[in-house]
Amino acid sequence: MTHSLTLTRPDDWHLHLRDGAMLTGIAPETARDFGRAIIMPNLVPPVVTAAQALAYKARIMAALPEGSKFQPLMTLYLTEKTDPDDLAAAHASGLVTAAKLYPAGATTNSASGVQNFVKVQPVLERMAAIGMPMCVHGEVTDADVDIFDREAVFIDRVLDPLRRRVPDLKVVMEHITTAEGAAYAKSDPGKLAATITTHHLMINRNHILSGGLRPHYYCLPVAKRETHRLALLKAATSGNPSYFLGTDSAPHTDDAKESACGCAGIFSATNTMSCLAEVFERAGALDKLEGFTSLFGPKFYGLAPNADHITLTKGAEVEFPSYISTGAGPVTVFNPGIDLHWKVTD
Ligand code: NCD
Ligand code: ZN
């Protein structure tokens, strides 16, 4: 039996760090285990320009614990007005790693997102030319499409046509939640990949809706039925480099979650590595964990893996705080619903 596991230090390829008191409160939770993270730009107002990304990066650095080596990899939020020159310069200088495409209205703080995908064509062509990846929130927003079908419909109606128009664009399908998403993501290795969250490997829609409404399991894209969770688990534990970790850890204060109109987002930064070790072990795939958390993401983004390592140790049940206190208010930590036994010890 394996009791100790040393991995190349993991990265988080999809993370919400927020701003202000929330940023200060939650940044240390990611910086503890992770080397780098792709920082989502959906602030209010969003991070649209290089100047905004530079200022946001400075606020993140200031929120890190002293001596932390954590590196935020910044992104720009694409709008129909994004200036291709500003974006290209931000990428060339190393300030910005990727750009995020949100369909307008698809999720939290996405009001400035794209309504007409043809309008961003020149920016996407520029990104393809300079090798800058596009991260995409893959859901249609049409009111006539059922919320559980929005990812699969997005692939057919938006993503596949867009990729045919800009075939050289590198695309990361963010936080896939369906068998259709997993199948499409592996169809063009090196050009196309997907992030998978911790929580979508552990919960299905019953966790949200059965036996009482559980707002802390509500996120977007919403968790689907069990067959989809099993497809994601198979993908994540397959050793296929088209899939890598993006926690989508997305803190909201408890009063914003436990509300008549609760916010979407699950906060999992604190216990993600414990959760994933448990999930991969139960799937008989502990040997595939390092690829998923630490190797395939850098490979897709054209970066070297982190040079240092973490060690996970298996023992008695591991406890995590049920919430993190921040200056903005308490933030509930993802409850995996199963006992965890692995802990990052070094
Ligand atoms: C994210 C957030 O709160 O910013 N929410 C979520 O449910 N995942 C936005 C997102 O990534 O869709
Ligand atoms: Zn997100």
Whole-number Å distance, alpha carbon 195 to ligand 1 midpoint, is 14
Q: For residues 333 and 323, is the Cβ–Cβ distance under 8 A?
A: yes
Half-sphere exposure of 155 (CA within 13 A, CB side): 20
Is residue 109 very low, low, confident or very high in pLDDT (cuts 50, 70, 90)? confident
61-88 average pLDDT score: 97
Ligand in nearest proximity to the CA of 217:
1
Query: Is the C-alpha dihedral spanning 207, 210, 216, 220 positive or negative?
Result: positive
Around Cβ 319, how many Cβ atoms within 10 Å? 10
Given a cut of 90, whether residue 83 has pLDDT beyond it is yes
User: Ligand 1 centre from 331 Cα, in Å?
Assistant: 14
Exposure string over 89-98, b if 16+ CB within 10 A, otherwise e: ebbeeebbbb
- Note the pLDDT tens digit of each residue in 208-236: 999 999 999 999 999 999 999 999 999 99
Q: Are 157 and 139 in contact (CB under 8 A)?
A: no
Residue 241: φ, ψ to 5°: -70, 0
Measured between alpha carbons, how far is 38 from 177 in angstroms, rounded to an integer? 19
Strand partners, 133: none
From 86, 248, 339, 346, active-site residue: 248
Can you read off the two tokens belonging to residue 116?
Answer: 């007409």
pLDDT at residue 1 in the model? 63
The residue behind tokens 């006539």 is 144
Q: Return the ligand number nearest the Cα of 150.
A: 1
| Atom 6, ligand 1: residue with shortest CA distance | 265
Amino acid at 168: D
248 among known catalytic residues: yes
What's the 13 CA to ligand 1 centre distance in angstroms?
14
Query: Residue 111's pLDDT band (boundaries 50, 70, 90)?
Result: confident
Alpha-helical (H) ranges within 19-49 are: 20-31
Tell me: pLDDT of 162 over 80.
Answer: yes
* CB neighbour burial string for 170-179, b if at least 16 within 10 angstroms, e if fewer: bbbbbbbbbb
What domains are defined for the chain? Answer: 4-344 (3.20.20.140)
pTM: 0.98
